[in-house]
Amino acid sequence: MGVIFVSLAAGLALMGSSRPIFALLGVGLILVLSLPFLLFAFVTTLINHIRIETIN
């Protein structure tokens, strides 16, 4: 998670440079590549907290 934040911070820092398109592409690439892993972590955590109880 820290790698994502550091990468996003670096991309936002590049926004002030002479070529902000590279910063936008970098931020977009980081978000696209990290989104499946974040969704997987969220869904597995959610599934682990679901309890199934039998009704008598």
3-state SS of 1-56 is CHHHHHHHHHHHHHHHCCCHHHHHHHHHHHHHHHHHHHHHHHHHHHHHCCCCCCCC
**Mean pLDDT of the 2-25 span:** 80
Q: What is the pLDDT of residues 39-52, one digit of tens each?
A: 999 999 999 888 87
Q: Is the pTM of this model over 0.85?
A: no
- pLDDT at residue 39 in the model: 93
Handedness of CA 43, 5, 7, 14 (dihedral sign): positive
Q: What is the pLDDT of residues 22-44, one digit of tens each?
A: 888 888 888 888 889 989 999 99
d(CA 21, CA 24): 5
